Amino acid sequence: MIHGFSSRTLLSVCALSVAGVLALPPAASAAGGTASGGAAGAGPVAAGGAEPTPGGPRAALPEASLLYRPGVQVRLRAGAPRIPSVSALSWVVADADSGDVLAAYAAHRKLPPASTLKTLFALTVLPSLPAGQEHTVRPEELEGIGPGSSLVGVAEGHTYRIADLWRGVFLNSGNDAVHVLASLDGGWEATAERMQATARALGAHDTHVRSPDGYDTPGQVSSAFDLAVFGRAGLHNADFARYCRTVEAQFPGGGGWTYGIQNTNRLLTGADGVEPYPGLIGIKNGYTTNAGNTLIAAAHRGGRTLVVTVMNPQEGGAFAVYEEARALLDWGFAAAGRVDPVGSLDALRSRPQPGPAATPTPTPTPTAVSAADAVAVAHTDEPDGSGWGSAAAFTAAACLGAGGLLLARRRKGGRGDTP
């Protein structure tokens, strides 16, 4: 049972509106220039046939279709560093504050995401479950966990705080913790539906959710673009930023004793000989047989926050995903002010279009933090309550939107079988 849990119906209605709060749109960019593509490791790519000078006028933001083109997409100015050689099937480098995509390769290629999909799960479910609430796990909540799943050790009959379960998700990538949290939020199938709605609201149209924990399931795909959208959105919330940045924590083992768990993101922890990345905020790594190694990583340096996604490196072994992310982060920071964006993480995000009879309503001020602020927040102690409180108040008002009401009507009771 869960103690002190508020009405899930209202929270379900709010979930889709939360997605709008999570990503902050960039200001309109100045005009000038055209887009070009290039190959990995190639020299500077001229925009419009001429090389802009460093610090010159920023080129116009290209249309979203540029990121659907094959090959590396980048708009280098004179003196910009070369794109590193990367073997991943798909990758993206983006500015987490503005949403500008600085470079990408096969950004919209649909691939299995593995546990990086847990970022979308967190974006969808975190607002509904206060961190300080306690819940005693029922046997049926642990049914249907896929063979070979990563587990944190959730046990039936044991009582956990919601914050404990989230640490199990972010640090140990525990599918058992995901199953319990999903059961508290309406069930497995309902959670998958809500995740799908959240993805669409954020402009992540390549993602198809079949198993909320990221477990290999036929038809479940995402893309480097979509994963960058999810990672960026997560950084705009204090709780998400804390969880993804946590290196070690104690997890309840029952009977009053606890045991240590460690984040499996080696770029954050430095485990297994992988050198930790300076300024890394964290986010989420993943691995399955079909997906290979996947990673969403964010780092802060010199007043800038970058988010990179790397999907399924084809060379270099099990830890190549971290080294390729490192190379892309290094490039992104070194290229500051010397590249023009090739797209935006906000380009496909849905924006309400009022009809002829629509009455304008005041737009509340978003309560989400900037990606830069998330760096400081991630290092603070986690409160017993959830940092989503003020955001939830905002989204409660936004719940009158037709999209949220439709989603609430579609919700199903209970948990469906895991595919």
Mean pLDDT of 361-381: 46
Average per-residue pLDDT for the chain: 79
- pLDDT range class, residue 179, cuts 50, 70, 90: very high
- Convert the pLDDT of each residue in 341-355 to its tens digit: 999 999 998 776 555
Residue 135 near residue 141, CB atoms below 8 Å: no
The answer to which of 63-72, 112-121, 287-296 has the lowest mean pLDDT is 63-72
Nearest to 228 by CA among 318, 386, 119, 351: 119
Gap between the Cα atoms of 312 and 293, Å rounded = 5
Could you tell me if residue 74 is inside a domain? Answer: no
Q: In this predicted structure, what is the pLDDT of residue 350?
A: 73
Contact 418, 186 (CB under 8 A): no
Q: Which of 64-68, 128-132, 344-348 has the lowest mean pLDDT?
A: 64-68
DSSP state of 193: H
Give the mean model confidence (pLDDT) for residues 54-75. 73
pLDDT at 88 over 60: yes
Answer whether residue 76 is part of any domain.
Answer: no
On whether the CB atoms of residues 179 and 137 are closer than 8 A, the answer is no
On whether residue 3 sits in a domain, the answer given is: no
Q: What is the pLDDT of residues 288-306, one digit of tens each?
A: 999 999 999 999 999 999 9
Q: Is the pLDDT of residue 106 over 80?
A: yes
Does residue 212 belong to any structural domain of this protein?
Answer: yes
Q: What is the mean pLDDT of residues 55-62?
A: 52
Please indicate, yes or no, if residue 264 is contained in any of the structural domains. Answer: yes
What are phi and psi for residue 353, nearest 5 degrees? -110, 105
243-282 pLDDT, tens digit per residue, is 999 999 999 997 889 999 999 999 999 999 999 999 999 9
DSSP code of residue 10: H
Within a domain: residue 266?
A: yes
**What whole-number percentage of the chain has pLDDT above 90?**
66
Catalytic positions, written as ranges: 115, 118, 173
Instruction: Tell whether the torsion through CA atoms of 7, 13, 14 and 19 is positive or negative.
Output: positive
Q: What domain count does the chain have?
A: 1
Quickly state the pLDDT bin for 114 (edges 50, 70, 90): very high
**Greater confidence, 117 or 21?**
117
pLDDT band for 378, please (50, 70, 90 cuts).
Answer: low
Q: Looking at residue 419, what is its pLDDT?
A: 31
Residue 357 has pLDDT above 50, yes or no: no
Predicted confidence (pLDDT) at residue 415 exceeds the cutoff of 80: no
Average pLDDT in the 179-195 region?
Answer: 98
Which of the residue ranges 16-20, 165-169, 182-186, 318-322 would you say has the lowest mean pLDDT?
16-20
Q: In what order do the strands lie in the sheet with 159-161?
A: 2-3, 134-136, 159-161
Nearby residues of 62 by Cβ (< 8 Å), 6 or more positions away: 34, 35, 75, 341, 342, 343
Cβ partners under 8 Å of residue 218, min gap 6: 210, 419
The more confidently predicted of residues 33 and 204 is: 204
- pLDDT tens, 13-38? 344 444 444 444 333 333 333 344 44
Please give the Cα distance from 265 to 295 (Å, whole number). Answer: 8
Range of the domain at 395: 10-24+110-311+363-410
Q: Is the pLDDT of residue 320 over 90?
A: yes
Q: What confidence tens digit (pLDDT) does each residue in 212-221 have?
A: 999 999 999 9
- Rg of the chain taking only CA atoms, in angstroms: 21
Instruction: Evaluate whether residue 126 is within a structural domain.
Output: yes
What is the CATH number for 186?
A: 3.40.710.10
The three-class DSSP label of residue 79 is: coil
What per-residue string of b and e applies to 67-82 under the rule 16 or more CB within 10 Å gives b? beeeebbbbbbeebeb
Residue 38 belongs to a domain? no
Strand ranges (E), 196-279 = 248-254, 257-262
Which residues are registered as beta bridge partners of 258?
252
Q: Is the pLDDT of residue 126 over 90?
A: yes
